[in-house]
């Protein structure tokens, strides 16, 4: 099903997953800093790198006979994973039910529904993402997954999640023509960070690893939960796929700086992303300044800014 360039063939729209561009930032990186390269993932079919994990999880589950056409996939989600799962589920003849919340962009709810999902909305109260809210969403999803014909996608547990990002790492190594010195990415489950690292390492190179989190919910550095507005990241103090021993460091970035970076990136670099992209680029620039010339830092524009229009970042 997969091919070495990260694409997929033989399953309609799934063939459009992967093979995204890697671009060098020209304007936002100060003179005297290392190069900063960004893997622009917004060109995936649902506008997010989550398509990579969704196709990995669901095709592996179908191949193992754990789910069959007519069954319903269940997951709790801030919307990007849910949209990717809805898209892949539809192509594979599966249903999809998402447990979502009004703390996330309404456009993400609409996108999931456009791909045929049933979306259940757990009220947040004040529009912020908290660990308590995520726990309530999880409990609701697990209860639904108990029904006959239901399959829990398990974005926080399935080893097919990080595996889905191996092609992204292979693409980065090939596009860069060698090793980045640092790979730097914000962490939700840690699947994208660790899977990408594994894909790069399989190409025989071994960058230093830097995890990124919002200062308002510095779960990795302080363990103290906090309300924040960066969708998809800082969801648990113990990201299931994150191997902390592989990290050189964790960088915390203030969310307002990340959101300002999103606006600057759109206007000056033509890189259009969401809040996690802003976090990633801020941290990559800080890394690049610390490293100095002659080095390369790679990070990711996780998804397209189109998902955030009408939200707090761009309006």
Ligand X SMILES: Cc1ncc(COP(=O)(O)O)c(C=O)c1O
| Cβ at position 239, least distance to ligand X in Å | 7
| Cβ at position 110, least distance to ligand X in Å | 16
Among 45, 190, 214, 240, binds ligand X (CB under 6 A): 190
34 lies in the binding site for ligand X (CB under 6 A): no
| Cβ at position 188, least distance to ligand X in Å | 3
Q: Got the DSSP string for 241-301?
A: T--GGG-SEEEEE-HHHHHHHHHHIIIII-----HHHHHHHHHHHHHHHHH-TT-EEEEEE
3-state secondary structure of 106: helix
Would you give the binding string for ligand X spanning residues 251-280, x where CB under 6 A is met?
-----------------------x-x----
233 lies in the binding site for ligand X (CB under 6 A): yes
Among 82, 188, 199, 240, binds ligand X (CB under 6 A): 188
Among 81, 101, 255, 304, binds ligand X (CB under 6 A): 81
| Cβ at position 177, least distance to ligand X in Å | 25
231 lies in the binding site for ligand X (CB under 6 A): yes
44 lies in the binding site for ligand X (CB under 6 A): no
Cα R_g (the chain), whole angstroms: 18
What is the rounded CA–CA span in Å between residue 42 and residue 277? 10
| Cβ at position 167, least distance to ligand X in Å | 14
Among 42, 45, 232, 278, binds ligand X (CB under 6 A): 232
Give how far Cα 64 sits from Cα of 151, 156, 160, 225, 270, Å.
Answer: 13, 19, 12, 37, 41
Q: How many residues belong to the site for ligand X (CB under 6 A)?
A: 18
What is the sign of the dihedral through the CA atoms of 235, 240, 241 and 242? positive
| Cβ at position 292, least distance to ligand X in Å | 28
106-114 and 80-91 helices, crossing angle to 10°: 0
Q: Which distant-in-sequence residues (6+ apart) come within 8 Å of 209 by Cβ?
A: 182, 183, 184, 193, 197, 246, 247, 248
Among 54, 192, 197, 297, binds ligand X (CB under 6 A): 192
3-state secondary structure of 217: helix
Interface positions with ligand X (CB under 6 A) = 78, 80-81, 186-193, 231-233, 274, 276, 302-303
């Amino acid at each position: 099903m997969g091919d070495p360039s990260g694409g997929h063939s033989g399953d309609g729209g799934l063939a459009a997953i992967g093979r995204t561009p890697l671009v060098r930032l020209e304007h936002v990186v100060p003179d005297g800093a290392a190069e900063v390269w960004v893997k622009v993932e917004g060109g995936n079919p649902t506008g997010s790198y989550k398509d990579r994990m969704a196709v990995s999880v669901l095709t592996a589950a179908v191949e193992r006979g754990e789910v069959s056409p007519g069954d319903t996939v269940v997951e709790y989600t801030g919307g990007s994973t849910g949209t990717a799962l809805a898209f892949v589920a539809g192509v594979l003849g599966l249903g999809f039910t998402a447990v979502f919340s009004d703390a996330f962009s309404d456009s993400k709810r609409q996108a999931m529904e456009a791909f045929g999902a049933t979306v259940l909305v757990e009220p947040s109260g004040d529009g912020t993402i908290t660990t308590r809210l995520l726990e309530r969403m999880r409990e609701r999803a697990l209860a639904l997954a108990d029904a006959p014909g239901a399959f829990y996608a398990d974005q926080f547990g399935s080893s097919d999640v990080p595996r889905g990002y191996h092609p992204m790492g292979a693409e980065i190594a090939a596009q860069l023509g060698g090793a980045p010195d640092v790979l730097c990415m914000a962490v939700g489950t840690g699947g994208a960070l660790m899977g990408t690292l594994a894909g790069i390492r399989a190409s025989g190179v071994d960058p230093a690893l830097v995890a990124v989190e919002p200062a308002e919910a510095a779960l990795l550095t302080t363990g103290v939960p906090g309300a924040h507005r960066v969708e998809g990241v800082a969801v648990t103090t113990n990201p299931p796929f994150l191997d902390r021993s592989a990290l050189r460091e964790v960088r915390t970035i203030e969310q307002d700086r990340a959101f300002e970076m999103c606006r600057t990136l759109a206007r000056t670099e033509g890189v259009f992303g969401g809040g996690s992209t802003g976090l990633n680029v801020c941290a990559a620039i800080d890394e690049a300044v610390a490293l100095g010339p002659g080095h390369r830092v790679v990070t990711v524009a996780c998804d397209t800014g189109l998902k955030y229009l009408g939200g707090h970042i761009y309006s």
